[in-house]
Amino acid sequence: MTTASGFREINFDGLIGPSHNYAGLSLGNLAATMHAGKISRPREAALQGLAKMRLMLSLGLGQGFFLPHERPNVAWLRQFGFGGSDAQVCAQAWREEPLLFAQACSASAMWAANAATVSPAPDTADGRTHFTVANLSTMAHRSHEWPETLRQLRHIFADQRYFAVHEPVPARFGDEGAANFMRLAAPVDERGVEIMVYGEAGGAFPARQSAEGCRAIFRRHGIESSLTVQQSPEAIAAGAFHNDVVAVAHENILFAHEEAFADKDAFYEALQTRCNDLVIVEVPASEVSLEAAIASYLFNSQLVTLPDGQRALILPMECKETPSVRRWIEANVGANGPIHAAHFIDVRESMHNGGGPACLRLRVLLSPEAERAVNPAYLLDARTIERLEAVVSSHWPEQLSPTCLGLSDSWQHFNNARGELLAVLEQPFE
């Protein structure tokens, strides 16, 4: 998507790391807990993610990537009193605190939608693109991601003329990044309405996004037009642990499930007064239940505008395989509607851990000048994808079970694989 003024959206996907496993660490993420203990396929997972990035490039869209984090996170384990060499730290942690060690091995940074909240330059007071790194404080296995995420963002978006990268809001106030963020603007290079969706505590599953965190981010970014909206308790109870499991916005389109928001009517009314040419594409519960929407990740699709102006959904294969969802897509996506095409992709390894196509990417809207200021080593082209695919095919484990996390051979394998990845990059992250 490139506008008349040259702005275009680039999706930065998390490259799925070699420690990708099904330890079932994420309470409220039904797919993750359902697959707990099963054998994962890190190599296949990473190649599936790269195939999605390749599809995006083939459609004429901008695509970047983030590096997998170092795993196990030995520095984090040392904070719990484990000492000695890195190998000794890992061995002691596995022996005495196996759950903690599994949390230190999590590859969940692959879901780049949780890396940060991004406000594009047209919305902010100082005309720069602002990032606030998510604290991810609700889940232990994700709470230690932010320092490396901060380093990567500041390495990739280093030019302070165009970018401001902020540390997380205080951990007492949960923030899970762009997975709970939406933006409506038409055209996209004009000031938009930024929306953050929070949850209220009290249900069976944790509400991961706090209202205080949402408001803090808007203040930091200097956002004039913002809305803070409550996610419906019913959606959280059904397994929508992030808003992007039940709603997504793009340009002037809000694509959402009927039961996504706690006070839908008030939210829609507020949008109508702020958004020119607003189009709400609402999926009725009578046609697609919350359970079917969440199991298929219909709303965790990527809603994009192609170079020819056509709008398309990038959907997980599970949407085609879920009868009610497939029927809705066949009836509503096409030339006569606001969404013109559907592309189905296989990201099953990510889906089994509770993350669909939209979970894997962080959207960044950039002017031509800002795009030129991005570290080019993290912008993809066909050659770079081939190099990444070659490293993954040669060095990522073929299979991994949660019990294998305790093997020293596994730790070495993870480190060696990441080292090989860094070695092939022209500007390796340090």
Catalytic residues: 176, 242, 359
CA dist 300 and 333 (Å) reads 16
The vertex-420 CA angle with 415 and 425, nearest 5°, equals 125
Counting every residue written for the chain, the total comes to: 430
What are the Cα distances from residue 255, in Å, to 19, 67, 84, 243, 259?
33, 30, 52, 12, 12
Q: With CA atoms as reference, report the closest residue to 322 among 353, 357, 303, 294.
A: 294
383: helix, strand or coil: helix
Q: Judging by DSSP bridges, how do beta strands 253-257 and 247-250 pair with one another?
A: antiparallel
CA dist 377 and 316 (Å) reads 28
Q: With CA atoms as reference, report the closest residue to 35 among 382, 354, 286, 369.
A: 354
CA dist 130 and 138 (Å) reads 23
Residue pair 253/279 in contact (Cβ under 8 Å)? The answer is yes
What are the Cα distances from residue 78, in Å, to 91, 93, 104?
12, 9, 11
What stretch of H or E contains 203?
none
Kindly state the DSSP code that residue 201 receives in the 8-state scheme: S
Q: Judging by DSSP bridges, how do beta strands 181-184 and 193-198 pair with one another?
A: antiparallel
Q: Judging by DSSP bridges, how do beta strands 163-166 and 341-345 pair with one another?
A: unpaired
Radius of gyration of the chain (CA): 20
Q: With CA atoms as reference, report the closest residue to 413 among 19, 68, 14.
A: 19
Alpha helices (H) in 59-192, listed in sequence order:
74-78, 86-96, 98-105, 140-143, 146-156
Q: Judging by DSSP bridges, how do beta strands 311-316 and 341-345 pair with one another?
A: parallel
Only one residue has tokens 């170092």, namely 70
**φ and ψ at residue 345, rounded to 5 degrees:** -130, 155
CA dist 337 and 398 (Å) reads 42
CA dist 307 and 162 (Å) reads 25
